[in-house]
């Protein structure tokens, strides 16, 4: 005689036995600071919407990838904003360390 399972019985097997299709590996944590080739999460979250996630421009904002702007202009734009087109960012929103690392990634120049 074939076995008959009720919905409750199957639920208990699923919950107690686990689901075989579930991944056993845990997800990698999101990076919190830039590496040699990864823009900071601050840049991606604060700037990427207008300047592009890779700095190549979006929505008419300046392309930052390959920019020849001096670091003083870069820092001034970030800390003071640019008119009504770009807001200013405090150090708590975009740290100096992230800003300097992103500058190097996007321009190829070392912050001095």
Per-residue model confidence as pLDDT tens digits over 29-81: 444 444 457 999 999 998 999 999 899 988 778 899 999 989 999 999 999 99
Indicate the class that CATH gives domain 37-112. mainly alpha
Give the Cβ contact number of residue 64 at 10 Å: 25
Any idea where the domains of the chain sit in the sequence?
37-112
- pTM, two decimal places: 0.64
**Residue 102 burial (C-beta neighbours within 10 Å; 0-12, 13-18, 19+):** buried
């Amino acid at each position: 005689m074939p076995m008959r399972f009720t919905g409750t019985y199957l639920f208990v097997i699923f919950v107690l036995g686990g689901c075989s299709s579930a991944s056993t590996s845990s997800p990698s944590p999101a990076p919190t600071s830039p590496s040699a080739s990864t823009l900071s999460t601050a840049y991606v979250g604060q700037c990427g919407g207008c300047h592009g996630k890779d700095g190549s421009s979006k929505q008419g904002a300046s392309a930052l990838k390959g920019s020849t702007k001096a670091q003083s202009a870069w820092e001034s734009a970030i800390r003071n904003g640019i008119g009504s087109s770009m807001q200013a960012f405090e150090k708590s929103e975009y740290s100096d360390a992230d800003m300097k690392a992103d500058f190097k990634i996007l321009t190829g120049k070392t912050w001095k």
